Structure 1
């Protein structure tokens, strides 16, 4: 007798046609720490480091609105005496700043705390982070590793595997930092196309989960503009007003040409039927999605 196929949350999400837009995790910056070994289940929180050091780094990142991710290169890598860390800041004008350092012993990571308080430097290229956190969710590794492999062939210096970014069922997940762009349901060939578009200055609605600096309803409204009017620059759509009344939202956007100059999106948040949302979920829970009630574009 054949064994039943293992439950895979990303496969089930595709069968339900789960909505991508409006699902990006919020952040205004990222601390990335190179860790070539297996990911601990809880990422940085479970690294074999002194508790007081981990607490200090986590508190500094939290205060600055930053998320901490572990990173590693794709495939087998030679053992090195030192590894990299970086502090990457999002800027609403696109003036993103980064600061990088190295660590060979855990005390070196204390420099991250000081770096969080410094402005950093412009001119660094973005990173393409493919979530491969298989111990957290099998779908992340199964679908994330091919993304990392494909991007590494084209942009090896920019590409890293990373620990959990949120949204297991949207695997493969691709995060571009410090731009703060989340993509989901990405396969290897798609990832190359997505990054090629980004390098040309464009973001398309396909596979877009959202921008990390925006609230979910705002992320959804931006994705609606891109879906209706085509790809646009990361900062070509700006939120100018947001109002909420219960489950209803009103989001007003200012856009650069050739997009409409103003767009107003009325939407509502709807609770979905209960489902298993991750591979390891012990029970069903209810997710939400956004639905457009009215879309008005002004030229």
Structure 2
């Protein structure tokens, strides 16, 4: 599971209370011109468009919400929120994507529950969404496909850009509670969306070796790959180790059914840590944990 967070620093959330088509926003029956404007603006910002709704019974009346969430750097998160009733109201997303957002807002907790894309996401995701919304009702949304259906239930913390997978109702509450307290654990972590897959896997290995840490307590400073072998250098803030070298081996899994709806078997690349060691400098290693 480590190293499977989909890359991205900008999210567009659109509350939609009707049925979600398998391809999400692209499949909605909206004004074509407005839809094209939103898609074009999102692509220009490399933003991901997700449909969202509150867990539980669907609210039918009143305006729906949209949001642009942006991760601009360590601890630099911005959000802009708006509302829409008519299709043309969604054009506000275009200007929001080109504008600075509001800092300091609490993160959004997204739980994939996109049953039309993959039944596993709905079966496993909806109980997680309900459990989390009982604890943090203002923060939690069900969302459309985020990737990695085989790891359902999946949760994404945005704009932090942190993916969790393999959750159930109980583990999701303890995992998100720790995250919000600045203690990210390795156990259900898929990765950070601002890192490459091998970097994500290396950081998960570091958290597993040295214990939980805050979102920006570690920084990847060097990534070297040759064939199936990777070497990642990570620096940490006190009280964490200052310099850590992680070595990984990339391998492709055997063919298997990757999702509930998969019509054919597939294979993916996984990154297995072979060594996690601290060092006094980026070049010299010691205290190996192989």
TM range (shorter): over 0.9
Q: Whole-Å Cα distance in 2 between the matches of residues 202 and 59 of structure 1? A: 37
CA contact (8 A) 2:83 2:89 kept: yes
The equivalent position to 1:113 in structure 2, one of 77, 94, 104, is 94
Match of 2:57 in 1: 76
Q: Secondary structure of the residue that 2:216 maps to in structure 1?
A: coil
Report the CA distance between 1:90 and its aligned residue.
0.8
Q: Whole-Å Cα distance in 2 between the matches of residues 252 and 56 of structure 1? A: 41
CA contact (8 A) 1:92 1:235 kept: no
Matches within 5 A, 1:285-296: 285-296=266-277
CA contact (8 A) 1:244 1:250 kept: yes
Q: Does 1:103 align with 2:84?
A: yes
Report Cα offsets for 1:115-164 as digits up to 9, x if no partner: 00101011211111110001111110000001110011111000110000
- Runs of 4+ more than 6 Å apart: none
Report the CA distance between 1:81 and its aligned residue.
2.9
CA contact (8 A) 2:209 2:276 kept: no
Report Cα offsets for 1:174-198 as digits up to 9, x if no partner: 1111101100000011111011101
Q: Whole-Å Cα distance in 2 between the matches of residues 78 and 295 of structure 1? A: 49
Q: Whole-Å Cα distance in 1 between the matches of residues 205 and 239 of structure 2? A: 15
Match of 1:160 in 2: 141
Q: Whole-Å Cα distance in 1 between the matches of residues 231 and 279 of structure 2? A: 15
Q: Whole-Å Cα distance in 2 between the matches of residues 278 and 78 of structure 1? A: 30
Structure 1: 5+ residue stretches without partners: 1-19
Q: Does 1:270 align with 2:262?
A: no
Return the structure number with greater strand share: 2
The equivalent position to 2:109 in structure 1, one of 92, 113, 128, is 128
Q: TM-score, normalised by structure 1?
A: 0.91
Q: Whole-Å Cα distance in 2 between the matches of residues 74 and 249 of structure 1? A: 41
Q: TM-score, normalised by structure 2?
A: 0.94
Report the CA distance between 1:251 and its aligned residue.
1.1
Q: Whole-Å Cα distance in 2 between the matches of residues 286 and 78 of structure 1? A: 40
Report Cα offsets for 1:194-223 as digits up to 9, x if no partner: 111012111000100000111100000110
CA contact (8 A) 2:17 2:59 kept: no
Q: Does 1:178 align with 2:159?
A: yes
Q: Does 1:212 align with 2:212?
A: no
Deviates more, 1:43-52 or 1:124-133: 43-52
Match of 1:44 in 2: 25
Structure 2: 5+ residue stretches without partners: 281-290
Report the CA distance between 1:246 and its aligned residue.
2.3
Match of 2:183 in 1: 202
